[in-house]
Structure 1
């Protein structure tokens, strides 16, 4: 019956008016009266053929609260020409959500060979409904719903949610659990008529201490060791939630703009730059480790539950640098698995220093292989110029003395 989660999603996303009336025809009921043993005894909402006072919303509550199989077919036949067309929309949506091991064959989840899913795929589907489909959680978290009157119930009637974790009278009640859907079948029959033991499934959510869980369990036993019906799926959810909220806490591993590293800056007004996390990262960690961190017992990477690995894009960066410029990454690793990567960005802008720039350019020249040979050649050129200038000056002096002697001789004559 957890198939009905996808039936509800497709309905809520494709129905233009949930308060509109629906047609209730025999085509929505026939399969439950046929020869297929897997369809006999299906859970219903007690809707009646020809009933004309039901709305889409009534059918959604019947689908998700009381797990009515006929409600799924009624919704399908009012939104599409055939049930098969509606199921095609269900499979299309599953593919869009990244479900790789899911295929729907009907709207209600009664056993068919090509109607299957996995716990992870059902998590993807439920997470989408939880986050993105308005009204879904309100409907699935409803404890009871009053349905309109019909021939067998002239004063109307009430149906109750099949999820014992939201029923205050249940041994499995938890006030912080909300929705989503149960599923159960004691046995089913394959195409050869062979009988197989069934089981219980349950998808639920819980909100407490500021964070939320989505829990999916499949194939819990239908009977206990005394061959008596027992709701092991509810027991599993009850125990897992109680354990999780007692054993784990929500912890901020990295805050937004937290200083995570420093890098050298060349040619800048500052020679060091802090790198900060662009985004925060929060996760659940064992409570004892979190308490150890608060007491200072987990201050180093060897004892912290989440390891942090910094990778810089450059060992040294050259100014100018803009605030917020990505210069590295911070990887969060838990038990050897990468769980999150966050960009490390410049904490502030650093302008280029002209003095440092010129000095750095000068230093870079001295590091080249041709600098000293060039310096020697330049020195030789300077010496050559000095010698040439000296020779020219000597010649000019000699010519000047010669002209002076000739002038004096001429003056004696």
Structure 2
């Protein structure tokens, strides 16, 4: 699926106060101040990190684990190994060991639900049993499914993740990081059904063989109209909480043309002096989104038809070729940033580039930086074609051949033969000179002898 594309990346800079890592671009605006174990805010369009705090710390994810479970099920559906309409029977083994006080949709052993309905139970009300039932159905056992979870995490580039179950029950060896959850969620969002399910504020499960229809209400209060945390810009994704993990939340939000993803891990839930309980995973998520929408905007840094520099050319009567970006570059920058403040650095693949050159050939790349931090990199293409000179190519080939070991050996042999031949000629000429003295015409000794007359 991968095609040429530029990747837009904000590297993190460590601040001196608060152990807060924030990119230099975000440091141009005021600190939104989030009190949690970890937090991450990423622009989905460009990959720019707008806010990051302890994003690589290994922490307990609680039910955010179910994002990976859902991803693997949707992957199986996409590959034809499961169908959304396929019926699955809850087995006693799948329900073994589940805590009675855990999140549940009330599914019992022997009950039959479709894969789709199980996913709604998993993601809307965070039903632990739904995760175990799907895991067993897909991999034969929960243990085998967990192995697949860890393999998928490694495949996605997760470096601070290890799963022990498909639902998020606490285990000291069950952990992940805010950054890895971003990678996992990003992969899940490639399946349209993922957001359809996790963005449902409520869902009605049809009657089954063991239950009448049941209404599921989403545990994410940011997407439930009428709740105190409701934000119309927010969509999905998943809540999670237990005493060791704190309150955790992954969401996305779209506002105007911006599309962001936020991860909060380990936020508190406290009661104020009026007796009102506040879940700060919702509070800080809302705060980060509003901070980003108020302080950042997209700017087009390069257009596809822009002149992005020149590359010297050899083997042609033309001495240079104009360069253009392979694609337009749009960055999410602090409002008020002037394009003149951006630093653009061109790196050529070869200097000079050798003709012939076809229009669109990749000849180098350009990095775009702000305050010393690299924001984006884009390939640079030849604006036009450049023909080669046959004579210059011939001369190049001759010089290249003469510089090879084979050519040097041949020249050495010819030189040696020339020396031998020269020595032989010299010796031969001396020998002829030595034995040829006093000989007349015809090689006979002495001078001319006339014929004697007979009398």
TM normalised by structure 2 equals 0.66
What is the deviation of 1:108? 0.9
Counterpart of 1:383 in structure 2 is none
Secondary structure, counterpart of 1:259 in structure 2: coil
Give yes or no for contact 1:48–1:150 (8 Å, CA) kept in 2. Answer: no
Report the CA distance shift for 1:324/1:20 in structure 2 as closer, same or farther (over 3 A).
Answer: closer
Counterpart of 2:252 in structure 1 is 205
Please tell me whether residue 345 in structure 1 is matched to residue 407 in structure 2: no
Name the CA distance, whole Å, in 2 between partners of 1:272 and 1:206: 46
Counterpart of 2:346 in structure 1 is 310
Secondary structure, counterpart of 1:202 in structure 2: strand
Q: Deviations over 1:310-337 (max 9, x none)?
A: 2335555565433223333211223323
Which of 122, 141, 158 is matched with 2:199 structurally?
Answer: 141
What is the deviation of 1:96? 0.9
Q: Deviations over 1:210-257 (max 9, x none)?
A: 232111110001224669642100111111111111211122222223
Please tell me whether residue 121 in structure 1 is matched to residue 180 in structure 2: yes
Please tell me whether residue 161 in structure 1 is matched to residue 218 in structure 2: yes
Matches within 5 A, 1:282-361: 282-289=330-337, 293=338, 298=339, 300=340, 304=341, 306-313=342-349, 316=352, 319-352=355-388
Q: Deviations over 1:189-210 (max 9, x none)?
A: xxxxxxxxx5100001112222
What is the deviation of 1:264? 4.7
What is the deviation of 1:265? 4.8
Name the CA distance, whole Å, in 1 between partners of 2:223 and 2:135: 28
Give yes or no for contact 2:135–2:142 (8 Å, CA) kept in 1. Answer: yes
Give 1 or 2: higher helix fraction.
1
Report the CA distance shift for 1:115/1:261 in structure 2 as closer, same or farther (over 3 A).
Answer: same
Name the CA distance, whole Å, in 1 between partners of 2:369 and 2:359: 27
Give yes or no for contact 1:269–1:350 (8 Å, CA) kept in 2. Answer: no
Unmatched segments (≥5 aa) in structure 1:
33-38, 189-197, 362-413
Please tell me whether residue 275 in structure 1 is matched to residue 310 in structure 2: no
Give yes or no for contact 2:355–2:387 (8 Å, CA) kept in 1. Answer: yes
What is the deviation of 1:145? 0.8
Name the CA distance, whole Å, in 2 between partners of 1:77 and 1:18: 16
Report the CA distance shift for 1:162/1:321 in structure 2 as closer, same or farther (over 3 A).
Answer: same
Q: Deviations over 1:152-193 (max 9, x none)?
A: 853x221111111111112222222111100112x25xxxxx
How many aligned positions are there? Answer: 329
Secondary structure, counterpart of 1:223 in structure 2: strand
Q: Greater Rg, structure 1 or structure 2? A: 1
Counterpart of 2:101 in structure 1 is 41
Matches within 5 A, 1:172-183: 172-183=229-240
Unmatched segments (≥5 aa) in structure 2:
1-62, 397-455
Give yes or no for contact 2:311–2:320 (8 Å, CA) kept in 1. Answer: yes
Which of 114, 129, 144 is matched with 1:70 structurally?
Answer: 129
Give yes or no for contact 2:111–2:210 (8 Å, CA) kept in 1. Answer: no
Secondary structure, counterpart of 1:288 in structure 2: coil
Please tell me whether residue 100 in structure 1 is matched to residue 136 in structure 2: no
What is the deviation of 1:113? 1.2
TM normalised by structure 1 equals 0.73
Please tell me whether residue 244 in structure 1 is matched to residue 292 in structure 2: yes
Secondary structure, counterpart of 1:75 in structure 2: helix
Report the CA distance shift for 1:82/1:348 in structure 2 as closer, same or farther (over 3 A).
Answer: same
Secondary structure, counterpart of 1:214 in structure 2: strand
What is the deviation of 1:276? 1.2
Report the CA distance shift for 1:76/1:272 in structure 2 as closer, same or farther (over 3 A).
Answer: closer
